[in-house]
Amino acid sequence: MEVAAIIFFLDLFCLLFLHKSCAELHTISDSQFLTDRDILVSDNGIFELGFFQSDSPENRYLGIRYKKIPVTTLVWVANREQPLASASALVFKIIDPGILVLFNNIRVIWSSNSTTESINATAKLRDTGNLALMDQHENVLWQSFDYPTEHWLPGMKMGNDYLRGIEWRLSSWKSSQHPLVGEFTWAAGKHGFPSFILKQGSVVKFRSELWRNQRLKGISSFSRNMTFSYYAIVNESEVYIAYNIENSSTLLRITLSSSGILETWGWVEGGKNWSLECHSLKISVIHTTFAVLMEAASLF
C-alpha cells in the first residue's frame, strides 16, 4: 500500500510540474489529461469543460459551459459539493481501470466511480453538453447526462433507469452564484406514466398530472420559429421524458432555479443575453409505447 501511494504521488508530481502549456483538448485518456489551464472542447466547439470560478474568486469548479457565448453559463458541475481553493494545482484524467478522477496535490476531489472496467478508455465532450467516458469500442461506461445538476438540456432524460438504478433528476443550486446543492429537486414519478414532482427538501411542493394525451402543466418552452418536441418512453427497463429542438441556431436550456422555479431559457444566434420565454404547449401521442411529441406553438 505504501509503495502504491508513493507511485501515485510521483505520478501526480509529474503531471503537475511537467505539463506546462495551455491546451484545447478534444479527448482525455490515461496519457492525455486536463490541468487547470486547459479546456476540453466538443467537436464543433459548442461546449467546453474546464475549471471555472462561480460563487467566490477563491473557489473553483470543474464544469461544462457554453463556449461561444459571452455570458458564462455552467450547465454541469462535477465538484459542486467540494469547491477547490484557487491556489490548488488540479488534474483531471483517466486512471485504471477506466475511471475519471479530479485530484489536487493532496487528495482525490471527485471521481466517476465507473463500475465497468476498461483498458484504453477515453473521454469526450459531446456537442450536446454530455461528457462521455467510453471504452476502446466507444461503448459508454459513464456519462454526465446520467447525473444532472440543475440543468435539463436537449437530449437529456428525466426519469428512472430501473436496470442501473439511476434516477435522472434536477437539483437546484444553493443560490444563483453557488453550485452547492440547494433545497429543491425536480424528478419524475417512480412508476407508470411520467409525472413530475417538485420537492423542497422532503416536502412535496408540486405534483404534475400523469402525462397522457393532455397539456403538461409546469413546463414552459422557448420558441423562435423552431420545432420544439418532447418524447416519453415507458417500459420495464426505464421511464423517462426528454426533449429536442431542430433549430440549431438557437440554444435552449431548462433550469431549476434556487427558488424552486422551472425556467426555460433561449439564446438566439447573435444575441447578447439569455431570454426567458413562455409558450403554450400542445401534446399528442404518436406511438403506442408512449413516445410523445409536444410541439410548441409560436407566440411570435
Tell which wins on pLDDT, 113 or 34: 34
Angle value at C-alpha 239, between 284 and 172, nearest 5 degrees: 95
Predicted local confidence at residue 281, as pLDDT: 32
User: Average of pLDDT values for 20-26?
Assistant: 76
How far CA 18 is from CA of 22, 106, 255, in Å, comes to: 12, 18, 40
pTM of the model: 0.82
Q: Is the pLDDT of residue 294 over 60?
A: no
Of 40-49, 50-59, 287-296, the least confident: 287-296
Selection from 279, 235, 233 nearest residue 254 by Cα: 279
Please answer whether residues 262 and 220 qualify as being in contact, where contact means their C-beta atoms are separated by less than 8 angstroms: yes
Q: Is the pLDDT of residue 146 over 90?
A: yes
User: Average of pLDDT values for 256-272?
Assistant: 86
Q: Which residues pair with 54 in a beta bridge?
A: none
pLDDT band at 143 (very low <50, low <70, confident <90, very high): very high
Predicted local confidence at residue 87, as pLDDT: 62
Q: Is the pLDDT of residue 280 over 50?
A: no
- CATH number of the domain at 1-147, please? 2.90.10.10
Q: How far apart, in whole angstroms, are the C-alpha atoms of residue 172 and residue 186?
A: 8
Tell which wins on pLDDT, 288 or 156: 156
Domain ranges of the chain: 1-147, 151-300
User: Which of 85-94, 195-204, 287-296 holds the top average pLDDT?
Assistant: 195-204
pLDDT in tens, 196-241: 889 999 999 988 776 654 444 444 444 445 566 777 888 889 988 8
pLDDT averaged over every residue in the chain? 79
Predicted local confidence at residue 233, as pLDDT: 84
Q: Is the pLDDT of residue 185 over 80?
A: yes
Tell which wins on pLDDT, 86 or 101: 101
